Amino acid sequence: MAIKISLDKIRKERPIKDLLKFGIINIDKPSGPTSFQVSQFIKDALRSNKTSHFGTLDPTVSGVLPIGLGRACRLNDYFMHRDKTYVGVIRLHKEVPDSEFKRVMEKFLGKIKQTPPVRSSVKRAERIREIKVFKILERNGKDLLFETEVEAGTYIRKLCDDMGKEIGGAHMLELRRTKAGMFMEKQSINLYDFEKAVQSYKNGQEDELRAMIIPAEVVCEVIPVIQIRSEVVTRILSGSPIFSSFLKNIKDIHKLKEGEKICIFSEEKFIGCYEFIGGEDIVARPEFVFN
């Protein structure tokens, strides 16, 4: 029987100082500051040794911005490369019938080619990205409120601009991220409430801040969990790869694919994140060991 990792139990029972060294806060980023500035604000407020944002939002874009605390920063890659959902406003440069815009919209669904904009921080090379959903929620004249679900790394402003080129011009007016992988808007924390919770914590009341911190073991909800025997934990924490003989149940790895990321637990104790290599003897190599 699979062991259920209780994140609520970890959040309630772990000392808050430990949560602050290995946790995540799902921040509702306001429009204005850069993602780095928000991350730095969290770091300074908590007097943390390190923070890191899981996926960048442009300064003018608001919404879901998970911030890793302490060693949870090492988990960035496991959370970051996941689908994103946005709500925004696109302004048409001329009157376009709904039927015409829908025709163009459908042309941009599925896998499309996209070149990052000039001011992006990545190499300007054409790449393939998937637009999974793009739908109009409301219309007010030339302004259309839309919702889109896209593959990580998709530039929504560029998507709006490219659509506009098909219908006489359009540009993005506003954008808000409502979902980043497993992190949802309804569970995000605005900076005002975060500041209040930090002040209460400094005054000796930790409950508000504790409730905001997601234990970093939540990585078990995005990559498969493999259980190992308790007697081999010391060897693994010293850097040993995962041998097939370490596993509690060899059947746990039968559905895994070579190169897949996994997280290793011993009962409810998080050991680290590994790459599955599928050998008969060595089955996984360490990427991040929580020792």
Q: Are 131 and 148 in contact (CB under 8 A)?
A: yes
Q: Is 162 a catalytic residue?
A: no
Q: What is the rounded distance in angstroms from the CA atom of residue 291 to the CA atom of residue 276? A: 20
Identify whether the C-beta of residue 51 lies closer than 8 Å to the C-beta of residue 73: yes
Instruction: Give the torsion sign (CA, 148, 257, 1, 266).
Output: negative
Answer whether 45's CB lies under 8 Å from 198's CB: yes
* Cα 36 from chain centre: 15
CB-based burial, 211-247: b 16+ in 10 Å, e otherwise: ebbbbbbbbbeebebbbbeeebbeebeeeebbbeebb
- Amino acid letter, residue 287: E
User: Which residue among 18, 28, 58, 143 is the active-site one?
Assistant: 58
Tokens for 87? 């709500």
Return the active site residues. Answer: 58
